[in-house]
Amino acid sequence: MRSATEPQRLPVSPTAAGTATTRKVRPMAIPLPPIDTGPDSRPHVVILGGGFGGINAARQLGNAPVRVTLIDKRNFHLFQPLLYQVATASLAPSDIAYPIRAILKDYQNITVLLDEVTAIDPELQHITLAHGELAWDYLIVAAGSQGTWFGHDEWEPHAPGLKTMEEALDVRQRVLGAFERAEREADPDRRTALLTFVVVGGGPTGVELAGALAEISHQTLRQNFRNIDPADARIVLVEGGEVVLRGYPDRLSKAARRSLEALVLRSAPMRGSRRSPANRSRSARSALPPPPCFGAPGSRARPSEPASACRWWRATGCR
């Protein structure tokens, strides 16, 4: 193990690109030049992730006698709590995304890198990036979480989650697209199907998303169409447990349910179903288009699968 005061610079690996564990987001279409953080004898702290965790860690270390490199595969910090507002077109993407460089620009000891971490080697104390490698003396992993589809990962293509900007924009496109298609649909049954929105998961994200869908259909879009009344939209919140907002005080959980029902929201049990909500709808009404369906999944640490975790942490004994 190297001394903490003698950081080792590792060569850039030309084969590192393309070994990403997360393939959904490719940060740059063109290859980035090799990383050169310059000669510096201060301990090198690498922070993985520019979310709340990573940004706060960086701020704490700003102006401390260390050099800090914060790496994120996106160049913006995302305010996740308002993702559902972007998903329902109440806010613009730029309202909840802010450049990481701008947030940290006043800290001269902090360098921000746009790249994707694909492997972490705790023995050699270096990380592999999509476009290079980097040595660290101290490593802070704040890579956030990813959605878990209640043991049904096959649901994901039918019901996008709501943890990233890409997912929020996907939901937004599906929601607005459903209203547009319904406006041009002559068949009343098909119109009803298009205007039936299914949200899977009655946790905070599902409750927020269902409520926001009800608001835009019953209020925001009310006057905007000629052939449909957006208020005819049906929003179905599918929750497998007995209550929404499980884990919250009973009083709040009941109040949330009452508020949702007041917004003309249907709730449906999910237990026992092995089919995706979209498939279930299709089998029942095969001639009709599947309803727009959205997932409000739970969270699991990133990376979650043992194989990719081992790729990240090439620790002795990791199987």
Ligand X SMILES: Cc1cc2nc3c(=O)[nH]c(=O)nc-3n(C[C@H](O)[C@H](O)[C@H](O)COP(=O)(O)OP(=O)(O)OC[C@H]3O[C@@H](n4cnc5c(N)ncnc54)[C@H](O)[C@@H]3O)c2cc1C
Given 35, 96, 112, 162, the residue binding ligand X (CB under 6 A): 162
Total binding residues toward ligand X, as defined by CB under 6 A: 25
Residues 6 or more apart in contact with residue 303 via CB below 8 angstroms: 21, 22, 143, 146, 309, 311, 312
- Per-residue x/- marks for ligand X, 114-153, CB under 6 A? --xx------------------------xxx---------
Q: Name the minimum Å distance from CB 56 to ligand X.
A: 8
Query: Does residue 50 interact with ligand X by CB under 6 A?
Result: yes
* Closest residue to ligand X: CB criterion: 51
Residues in 88-117 at the binding interface with ligand X, rule: CB under 6 A: 116-117
- What would the two tokens of residue 80 be? 């996740």
Query: Does residue 206 interact with ligand X by CB under 6 A?
Result: no
> Which entry of 167, 185, 208, 239 is annotated as an active-site residue?
208
Given 152, 158, 257, 302, the residue binding ligand X (CB under 6 A): 302
Query: Does residue 163 interact with ligand X by CB under 6 A?
Result: yes
Residues in 52-71 at the binding interface with ligand X, rule: CB under 6 A: 52-54, 71
- d(C-alpha 167, C-alpha 295), whole Å: 10
- d(C-alpha 303, C-alpha 36), whole Å: 27
Nearest CA among 246, 265, 166 for reference residue 204: 246
Respond yes or no: is residue 239 known to be catalytic.
Answer: no
- Greatest C-alpha distance within the chain: 73
Q: Name the minimum Å distance from CB 297 to ligand X.
A: 9
Closest to ligand X by CB, 126 or 302 = 302
Query: Does residue 205 interact with ligand X by CB under 6 A?
Result: yes
Query: Does residue 49 interact with ligand X by CB under 6 A?
Result: yes
Closest to ligand X by CB, 230 or 297 = 297
Query: Does residue 72 interact with ligand X by CB under 6 A?
Result: yes
Given 19, 22, 173, 259, the residue binding ligand X (CB under 6 A): 22
Q: Name the minimum Å distance from CB 72 to ligand X.
A: 4
Query: Does residue 75 interact with ligand X by CB under 6 A?
Result: no
Query: Does residue 298 interact with ligand X by CB under 6 A?
Result: no
Query: Exposed e or buried b for every residue in 11-27, given b needs 16+ CB within 10 A?
Result: ebeeebbeebbbeeeeb
Residues in 220-259 at the binding interface with ligand X, rule: CB under 6 A: none
**What number of CA atoms fall less than 13 Å from residue 7's CA on the CB side?**
24
Query: Does residue 294 interact with ligand X by CB under 6 A?
Result: no
Residues at the contact surface with ligand X, assessed by CB under 6 A? 22, 48-54, 71-74, 80-81, 83-84, 116-117, 142-144, 162-163, 205, 302
Catalytic residues: 208
